[in-house]
Structure 1
Amino acid sequence: MIPVRGYEGRRVAVLGLGRSGLATAHALRAGGAEPLVWDDSPEARDKAVAAGFAPHDLTREQAFDGVASLIVSPGIPHLYPSPNPIIARAMAAGVPVDNDIGLFFRSWGARGWESMDQTPRVVAVTGSNGKSTTTALIHHILSVSGRPSQMAGNIGRGVLDIEPAQDGEVVVLELSSYQTELARALTPDIAVFTNLSPDHLDRHGGMGGYFAAKRRLFSEGGPDRAVIGVDEVEGRFLANQMAEAPEDDRLIRISSGQKLEGAGWSVFARKGFLAEWRKGRQVASVDLRGIRGLPGAHNHQNACAAYAAARALGLAPRVIEEAFHSFEGLPHRTQIVGERNGVTFVNDSKATNVDSAAKALQAFPRIRWIAGGLGKDGGIAALAGYLAPVVKAYLIGHSAREFALQIGTTPHEVCETMERAVESAMAEAEPGEVVLLAPAAASFDQYPNFEKRGEHFTALVQSRL
């Protein structure tokens, strides 16, 4: 646990008592503060009571009297589409609003660091797609290389629930836009921006607000080194903002598909090969084609981001390459879950939007595609240019028939249920093909979350192998 500093003897309100909220309450108490906890859910409040906290009703008048700060869980809106009433009341009372990420950055440094041989460091990863895989891959590279490392944030443990730093340790954080938007302190040593595509636009008031939330990771404190994907205009703009000159190697540009040269530092992947360039010449190369845990161009971009972060931490190219080969990928993200008679079964249940589904569809040459669920605005019409590898689509869930109308002449079957889709795809798949779950839709029509959807697909496949 990281005890929160700066609130000794003061009352601090905590709104939202999920994983990060309860960890925050414990960390505040460990640092000498008095946490005042609240959640609209009676079940969550009961868990807080079981953990030793007395709920403090933040909906009451005068609830913020004598409160030094309000710490908010990431799922609770504070601005768009409208502020949560409790947050609005805190702001009206002049009570500063923060989150656990802000508390982490103000509390991470500790006495005794001056006696360490290597000061602990923080790598923070944000972006629309690939940030979980990139975060896990950086953590894996560090672990394989023998460097102490912890992984937290939007993946793994809550940031305040991790252990105090060891000598030379690196903490790797995945940070969502919900987390970066509100944190009052953001001071990573290395900040990574993978890419940007439309998502959570209602929460951020549009694309500009969404990008602004991501950009805060680079502007609030300023990292020592920035790793920035430049395959979208927003990334190119951010890279331009961070660099003082073309040769400024505090910035590492990354790309999947573009050749990046120039006087600066860049890492890019083309035709299955990763290349590192510095000062106008290539200094290293990695063949990504045979790396089982990183299939497809989107994973090659993740590899570039992780490689760049690891190089910024001083690791050698061959050490990083070796770690790539032992990386097995993350559950529900182009995860190979089985093989039979030359057919590979891939779970990419995390592909909940069109952009991430498009990346999955580009990763394999011949695909039996399971898609559908609770469709988002526009459905899957934007995938028209990515359907060439699809031998047949098997459509499930609430939007199955809507999706069927949007895929043109692509052969398809309206299956409605995962059971029927898996059964049909397995019966018809031929050697060399991939049965791919990449829904391009939310899961909430049939499953509580994308993880349960992916677990169901995996269980159905493995029970038939």
Structure 2
Amino acid sequence: MIPVQGFEGARVAVLGLGRSGLATVRALLAGGATPVCWDDQQQARDRAEAEGFELRDLHRQGAFDDIATLVTSPGIPHLYPQPNPVIRAALQAGVPVDNDIGLFFASLPAQGWDMLDQPPKVVAITGSNGKSTTVALLHHILESVGRDSQMAGNIGRGVLDIDPPGEAGVVVLELSSYQTELARALTPDVAILTNLSPDHLDRHAGLGGYFAAKRRLFAEGGPDRAIIGIDEDEGLFLAGQMSQASSDDRVIRVATGRKLSGPGWQVFARKGFLSEMRKGRQVGAIDLRQMMGLPGAHNHQNACAAYAAARVLGLAPRVIEAALATYPGLPHRSQTVAEVAGVRYVNDSKATNLDSAAKALSAFKNIRWICGGLEKEGGLGALGGQTGSVRKAYVIGREAAGFAMQLDVEAEVCTTMERAVACAVADAEPGDVVLLAPAAASFDQYDNFEQRGDDFISEVHKQLG
């Protein structure tokens, strides 16, 4: 646990009592604060009360009269599309609002760190797609060389629930735009932006607000090193803002599908090969094509970002290459779940938006594509021209018929995962890939994308016997 500092003897309100909320309450207590808790869900309040935490209805008049700070869970809107009533009441009372990420960065440095030969480091990773894979991949690389590493944030443990890192320890954080937008403290040693594509636009009042939330990690965080994907204009712009000159190696530019050149520090993947360039010279190269845990250009982009971070942390190219070769992949992200009779079955349930689905489709050939679900804003127009490898689509979801009509490939309306997998298995021929890449949210039929992916895996195993 990381005890929260700076609130000794103060009362701190905590709104939202899920995994991160309860960890925040415990960390506040450990730091000498008095937390008061609220969640609109009775079940969550019951869990907090069972641990002996003080409950207070933060909706009632005067609830913030004795409160020093409100700590809110990231999923609760604080500005757009409109503030949660509790957050608005706190702001009207002049009470600062923060989240667990802000408390973590303000509380992590410990006495005695200046006596360590290698103080701990924090690597914070954000972006639209590939965050979890990049976090898990860097964590895997570090563990493979015996380096103390912990994953936290949106993956692994809550940030305040981790163990205090010691000599040469590394904390690898996955941070969403919800988290970076609100955190009052953001001070990573290394910050990474994987990429940027439209997502959560209602929460940020458009693409500009979404980019601004991501940008805070760099502009306000002041990392020692910034690793920035420049395949989109926003990343290119951010890299330019963070650089003092073209040779400034505090910024590492990452790209896929093209070679980068110049006097600075670049890592790029092209035709399946990763290259590291410094001062105009190649200093590292890795063949990614046969690495089963990293299929497709999108995973090669993740590999470039993780490689760059590992280099910043002092690892040699050949050490990183050996670790990449043993990376097993994350569940629900280009996860091979079976390979029978020449047909490969891949679970990419995490492909919940068009950009991530397009990247999954580009990673394979001869695809039997299972897609559909709760369609996101903007329709499926952005998938036009991205389906050249699809032999047939099998559409699931409550609005499967409408979803299928927007596709530019042969599509069968299946509605359920059971029928979609059965039809795909029946149609598949040697050399085909049955790919779940929904291009949609899961909430019309499932609680989350993990449940949807597990259903796919279960049906595949059932159909294959």
Q: Shorter-chain TM-score category?
A: over 0.9
Question: What whole-Å deviation, never above 9, does each CA across 1:59-99 have from its counterpart, x for those lacking one?
Answer: 11110112110000000000000000110010011101000
Structure 1 segments, 4+ long, off by >6 Å, are none
After TM superposition, list the pairs within 5 Å mapping 1:219-238 onto structure 2. Answer: 219-238=219-238
Greater Cα shift, 378-387 or 220-229: 378-387
Cα distance in 2 for partners of 1:298, 1:444 equals 25
Cα drift, residue 411 of structure 1: 1.8
1:171 — aligned with what?
171
Cα distance in 2 for partners of 1:462, 1:247 equals 53
Residue 37 (structure 1) aligned with residue 37 (structure 2): yes
1:284 alignment partner AA? G
Cα distance in 1 for partners of 2:222, 2:74 equals 22
Residue 447 (structure 1) aligned with residue 408 (structure 2): no
Residue 463 (structure 1) aligned with residue 462 (structure 2): yes
The question of whether the paired residues in 2 share the 8 Å contact of 1:141 and 1:323 is answered with yes
Cα distance in 2 for partners of 1:422, 1:382 equals 25
Greater Cα shift, 398-407 or 26-35: 398-407
Cα distance in 2 for partners of 1:323, 1:94 equals 50
1:114 — aligned with what?
114
2:325 — aligned with what?
325
2:454 alignment partner AA? E
Question: What whole-Å deviation, never above 9, does each CA across 1:228-275 have from its counterpart, x for those lacking one?
Answer: 000000000000000000000001000111211100000000000000
Cα distance in 1 for partners of 2:179, 2:437 equals 26
1:441 alignment partner AA? A
Residue 416 (structure 1) aligned with residue 415 (structure 2): yes
What is the RMSD of the two structures over their aligned residues, measured on CA atoms?
Answer: 0.8
Question: What whole-Å deviation, never above 9, does each CA across 1:285-314 have from its counterpart, x for those lacking one?
Answer: 000000000000000000000000110111
Cα distance in 2 for partners of 1:435, 1:221 equals 42
TM-score by length of 2: 0.99
Greater Cα shift, 114-123 or 372-381: 372-381
2:460 alignment partner AA? V
1:364 — aligned with what?
364
The question of whether the paired residues in 2 share the 8 Å contact of 1:375 and 1:398 is answered with no
Cα drift, residue 171 of structure 1: 0.2
The residue matched to 2:247 in structure 1 has which SS? coil
Cα distance in 1 for partners of 2:282, 2:436 equals 37
After TM superposition, list the pairs within 5 Å mapping 1:145-294 onto structure 2. Answer: 145-294=145-294
1:429 — aligned with what?
428
1:292 alignment partner AA? M
Cα drift, residue 403 of structure 1: 2.1
The question of whether the paired residues in 2 share the 8 Å contact of 1:190 and 1:227 is answered with yes
TM-score by length of 1: 0.99
After TM superposition, list the pairs within 5 Å mapping 1:70-85 onto structure 2. Answer: 70-85=70-85
Cα distance in 2 for partners of 1:267, 1:2 equals 34
The residue matched to 1:310 in structure 2 has which SS? helix
2:365 alignment partner AA? P
2:26 alignment partner AA? H
Cα distance in 2 for partners of 1:200, 1:38 equals 25
Cα drift, residue 210 of structure 1: 0.2
Greater Cα shift, 240-249 or 109-118: 109-118
The residue matched to 2:445 in structure 1 has which SS? coil
Residue segments in structure 2 that go unaligned for 5+ positions in a row: none
Residue segments in structure 1 that go unaligned for 5+ positions in a row: none
2:327 alignment partner AA? F
1:305 alignment partner AA? A
Cα drift, residue 117 of structure 1: 1.9
The residue matched to 2:318 in structure 1 has which SS? helix
Cα distance in 2 for partners of 1:154, 1:221 equals 19
Cα drift, residue 112 of structure 1: 2.1
